[in-house]
Amino acid sequence: MSSETISGAHQELIEQGKRAIHAAVDDCLDSTPDDTLHVVPISSGWDSRFVLGALTADDRVPMENITALSYGVPGSWDFDLGKEIAAHVGVEHVSINLNEIDWSLNSIEDYVSRCDVPMRFFEGYPVAKSLEPFADREHTVWSGFFGLAAGPQLSKPIAATWSDGQDWFIRRNKTTDLAPNGYSPRAALPEKPLLDPSELEYEYQIDMSTRQPSFIGPVVSPPGHKCQFPLLNRHWLKFILNVPTKFRLNARLYHDILVDSYPKLFALPGDSAHGQPLTSSVVRKGVARIYQAIRHRAVNKIGQNTAHPKNKFVNFEKKIRKDTDLHETIRKLLTDLCDRDRIDWIDILDIWERHQQGQDNSMELRILASIELTLRTGTSQDKYDL
């Protein structure tokens, strides 16, 4: 892939970006059977919407061969906005209420047995379950994976050294305190830069080589499904990674490409704009963010314990606390993990009990349960070298 910086006036860069995404989609279509059903999972983010817009542009694919898929729970943007987006484009829409899928241990273990790497099983599992309605016919899943390349997380100051880039990555990605004393997250990161920072910022070298393939990719590409990733295609990456950094800061150029390409599609709300359109002012987005936070706090205070509309998948905090299949699945996995006596630096059952009493430990519990799932597959030594 060329590292030559792409230059030009802002509008010319927008036009180049539009040509690049169309070339990427066409390239993906070249390796896709003509009679396949094109399934486009639509979230409340911008990337999947961009892929849907490009796939339907210029009659690339007959509309009757495209189905938009939404999954989540009623009240979340991921679940509610998909129908509106699909109707705007004019394609069939299927929605999956994740509160209604099977969260039993047997079903989750079956999914885990088909996975190739240890991962966020409780996030990947609902994605796989949502695609089950399409199992009886040939289909291709079109994902917005790797939208990160456009720079949505990139902001000043840009890391000046590799160490600064590592610090940036560690700050952004620490979610729990489950690691043992003495653990250094740097040990899991590349020791040296992969490229000169003039070719790709240090922050993104680390993210693209670690988090994207190991943390995000396995979730959005469930086993047994053919997937296409236009935003990971060479035509798109050759463009977006070679525009000057100033245009990638906070995905500035990317957002302009989206709005210029499909103005009506991106006039619909999205999660990164706090339920507002992409074109909304910073003030309007800020007010919406504050309103959502206050409303969420107030609703939970009166005992409804609802998830924030930006919530992904299900309200794990509530479902793990209630008498549900997921509650029993997590409890069983944690009990078995304790019996292994391999994690002795934390009190696993105390984390469970504190969650039942009202503390939100849903992230920690899912991580621990995923460790047990990895260990109990029976092939963990061969697959994961544990």
Residue 379 clears pLDDT 60, i.e. is over it? no
pLDDT digits (tens, 9 = 90+) for 258-275: 999 999 999 999 988 778
Q: Which residue has the tokens 């206050």?
A: 294
Residue 69 clears pLDDT 90, i.e. is over it? yes
Once rounded to an integer, what is the mean pLDDT over residues 125-138? 96
Q: Which residue has the higher pLDDT, 276 or 216?
A: 216
pLDDT digits (tens, 9 = 90+) for 78-89: 999 999 999 999
Residue 386 clears pLDDT 80, i.e. is over it? no
The pLDDT value recorded for residue 268 is: 94
pLDDT band at 307 (very low <50, low <70, confident <90, very high): low
The pLDDT value recorded for residue 298 is: 66
Q: Which residue has the tokens 């396949």?
A: 36
Please, are residues 50 and 255 in contact by the beta-carbon 8 Å criterion? Answer: no
The one-letter amino acid at 36: T
The DSSP line for 219-264 is: HHS-TT-EEE-GGGSHHHHHHHTSS-HHHHGGGHHHHHHHHHH-TT
Q: Write the CA distances from 162 to 192, 195, 251, integer angstroms.
A: 7, 11, 22
Once rounded to an integer, what is the mean pLDDT over residues 222-246? 95
Residue 323 clears pLDDT 90, i.e. is over it? no
Over pLDDT 90: what percentage of the chain? 79
Q: Lowest-pLDDT range, 7-21, 61-75, 108-122, 288-302?
A: 288-302
The pLDDT value recorded for residue 311 is: 83
Pairing of strands 139-142, 226-228: parallel
Q: Which residue has the higher pLDDT, 337 or 5?
A: 337
Q: What is the length of the chain?
A: 386
DSSP letter, residue 34: T
Q: What is the mean pLDDT of the chain?
A: 91
The pLDDT value recorded for residue 310 is: 82
pLDDT digits (tens, 9 = 90+) for 168-222: 999 999 999 999 999 999 999 999 999 999 889 999 999 999 999 999 999 999 9
Strands, E assignment, the chain: 37-41, 66-72, 92-97, 139-142, 226-228, 269-270, 276-277
Q: Lowest-pLDDT range, 150-154, 330-334, 367-371?
A: 150-154
Please, are residues 286 and 296 in contact by the beta-carbon 8 Å criterion? Answer: no
The pLDDT value recorded for residue 154 is: 86
The pLDDT value recorded for residue 291 is: 67
Residues 6+ apart with CB under 8 A from 209: 190, 194
Give the whole-angstrom CA distance, residue 48 versus residue 147: 9
Residue 155 clears pLDDT 90, i.e. is over it? no
Delimit the domains of the chain by residue range: 10-152+190-286, 315-380
Q: Write the CA distances from 147 to 143, 225, 249, 275, integer angstroms.
A: 10, 20, 13, 19
pLDDT digits (tens, 9 = 90+) for 26-55: 999 999 999 999 999 999 999 999 999 999
Give the whole-angstrom CA distance, residue 358 versus residue 345: 23
**Measured torsion, CA atoms of residues 208, 209, 214, 220, in degrees rounded to the nearest 10:** 30
Picking from 260, 254, 230, the residue whose alpha carbon sits closest to that of residue 21 is: 230
User: Angle of helix 47-56 relative to helix 252-261, nearest 10 degrees?
Assistant: 40
List for the chain the helix, strand, coil content (%; round to 5).
55, 10, 35
Picking from 245, 278, 241, 244, the residue whose alpha carbon sits closest to that of residue 261 is: 278
Residue 380 clears pLDDT 80, i.e. is over it? no
Q: Which residue has the higher pLDDT, 323 or 98?
A: 98
The pLDDT value recorded for residue 290 is: 76
The pLDDT value recorded for residue 329 is: 98
Q: Where are the alpha helices (DSSP H) in 58-119?
A: 77-89, 105-113
Q: Which CATH number fits domain 10-152+190-286: 3.40.50.620, 1.10.10.10, 3.40.50.300, 3.60.15.10?
A: 3.40.50.620
Q: How far apart are the first and last CA of the chain?
A: 35
Residue 239 clears pLDDT 70, i.e. is over it? yes
Dmax (CA) for the chain in angstroms is 63
CB atoms within 10 A of CB 119: 20
